[in-house]
Each structure stands twice: as C-alpha cells, then as structure tokens.
Amino acid sequence: MAEYHGQIQLSLAGFYDIKTDAGEMFRARARGNFRKKDVKPLVGDFVVFSATQADDGYILSIDDRRNSLVRPPVSNVDQAIVVTSVEIPEYSSNLLDRQLVALEERQIEPVIYFSKTDLISSESREYLLQVAKGYQQAGYQVIFPEVSFDDASLDEIRALLPDKLTVFMGQTGAGKSTLLNHLVPDLDLATGVVSETLMRGKHTTRQVGLIEMYGGLVADTPGFSAFEVFDMEANQLTHYFREFNRYSPECKYRGCVHLKEPGCAVKPAVEMGEIMTSRYENYKMFYDLIEGRRPVYNKHDKKH
C-alpha cells in the first residue's frame, strides 16, 4: 500500500477527497484512532494517507494546521474576502471590526469588499468612501466598487486568488454568494432567503469543498453570519487592531491597553484622526465585553 501526501479538497459523509502533491485525486476515510482522539480532518488539511487504488485510502496523519475555522470548517486559510453590505443590511462598523478581530487572531489576511454601493445616496457614498479610506490607512486592502460587482472590482478579487486558499464571509444578505456567482457564473451558488432556509433543512447533505478558481482554492460554503465570541484575554485584544500596533511601542507602559493609562500613544492618534474613532470605540466595547465575562468580585465602574 503506497503512501501519499496531499490536501483535502472535499469532505462528505465521512469520506475525504484528497489531491496529492502530484495532482492526483484519491478518496479516503479517516482512521478510527482520529475519532478516539476527537480529531476530525478538515477541508484544507495537508495529510499523509495510504491507498492501493483511487477510492480505498486511509488518512494516517494530519500536518500541523496554520489556522482553522468553525464555519465553514476549513483549515490553512490564507485570506478572507469580507463582504460588507452598505445597505440592506446597512453598514455596521461593529460587525466589520468583529470579523477583522476574528481573522487577525487566526492570522488570516482580510480583504474588505463593500457591496451594494449603488443603492446608497451620494451623501452616504461620501461618508462610506471616508470609512473605506480609514480602513486602508489602518493597513487593510479595501475594494469599493463604483457599482456592485462591477468588472473592475471583480478583477481586483481575481488577482488576489492565485496560490491562496480563500474564504468569503459576511452577514446574511451581504452578497457573498452573489459575489461568488459573478466571479464564476457557472458556479450557481444558492442565493436568497428560500435557499438559506432549505440549507438549514435536516436532510441536506452537508458537504464542504474547495473549488479551484483563478489559480487558487476557494471554500464553496460561505460562512460567518456573525461573531459573538472573543476567545482572547482582554489585554490581548489590542494586538488584533493592526493600526494600534504602530503606535503602542511609543506608549509609556509596556502592556498598555489604551484606556486609562497615562502616556498612551494610541489615544492621541485617535484624537488627531490618525486612527478611526469608530475603531477605537469598538475596541473599548469589545474590551468591556471580554472583561464582563469574568466573575467580578469587587464591582467597579467600567466606563471609559
């Protein structure tokens, strides 16, 4: 029985389709000892497996993961296209910053794609262009189409895909599936309310797969409707706001969390407009949320 190394491209009912380093496809199952250890192979995993023919393989070991996501269950993700609606549902800096924190924590590079930009008034457009500029200054790639899903913005995304594993994310209705369908018209991913409901049906076969697209791999199940959980300690949160990291070396105290400490370099940067106020306000809110999860033995005012 020969041994191979490859990457899982599809997971379906306990079977895994694996593409070898040489480009061959095999179907394999996971050995029972994975179940005993409560380890489940994920799409995106690099694995060693044995097989005598194309459909009788067994996964022997899983390489260390660089990162992994719960929804969609994919590992070794390079980047996420964060589809951010500006209208229906309206733009939420809080949701966008939650998504960015979650991605930063997992070392996944975010690309912010504003959708439905043709549905807004010229005043809203001016405001949102300033928002987009703020995120660019923070260090993120931002795509703000003249018209939703126009050729120029699609070309920008196509240019990002080669040699990377990409996920598309955004709240329900933001336009993730629509964007994917525009990128690859024959993909025909289900869009709209009806399909969302059907996809939650009990009898739907749950499969997760990677689609080869423009020289890269894309997870075919858009995930992430919302982020409620911050897994880090409150004092770690600052590390996941990348523009704060530019200023924090100038803070008077190591470990400054940019709230009440004297000699903080981040707060003046907010006041001078070098860091977006919305980012700082969301940071404070997230910090309080994390702190609020702890048992408080001596209650004190947490307003900043």
Residue 199 pLDDT: 42
Contact, 30 vs 36, CB < 8 A?
no
What b/e string do you get for 209-241 counting C-beta neighbours within 10 Å, with b at 16 or more?
Answer: bbbebeebbbbbbbbbeebeebeeebeebbebb
Whether the per-residue pLDDT at 109 is higher than 90: the answer is: yes
Residues at the binding site for GTP are: 115-118, 170-178
In terms of Cβ atoms closer than 10 Å to its own Cβ (0-12, 13-18, 19+), residue 125 is: middle
DSSP H or E stretch at residue 286: helix 277-292
Q: What pTM did the predictor assign? A: 0.87
List all residues 6 or more positions away from 180 whose beta carbon is below 8 Å from its beta carbon. 168, 187, 189, 218, 220, 222
**Spatial distance between the Cα atoms of 231 and 112, rounded to a whole number of angstroms:** 23
Residue 196 pLDDT: 43
**Spatial distance between the Cα atoms of 57 and 193, rounded to a whole number of angstroms:** 39
Whether the per-residue pLDDT at 214 is higher than 90: the answer is: yes
Tokens of 7: 């990457």
Could you state, in order of their start, the residue ranges of all structural domains in the chain? 2-62, 79-219, 234-292
Residues at the binding site for Zn(2+) are: 251, 256, 258, 264
CATH 3.40.710.10 fits domain 2-62:
no
* Portion of the chain with pLDDT greater than 70, in percent: 87
Residue 38 pLDDT: 84
Q: What are phi and psi of 133, to 5 degrees?
A: -65, -40
| Span 252-282, pLDDT tens digits | 999 999 999 999 999 999 999 999 999 999 9
On average, the pLDDT of the chain sits at: 88
Residue 35 pLDDT: 79
Residues at the binding site are: 115-118, 170-178, 251, 256, 258, 264
CATH 2.20.25.650 fits domain 79-219:
no
Dmax (CA) for the chain in angstroms is: 67
Give bridge partners of residue 27 from the DSSP assignment. 17
The 10 Å Cβ neighbour count of residue 157 is 21
What architecture does CATH give domain 234-292? Orthogonal Bundle (1.10)
Whether the per-residue pLDDT at 298 is higher than 90: the answer is: no
Residue 192's pLDDT band (cuts 50, 70, 90)? very low
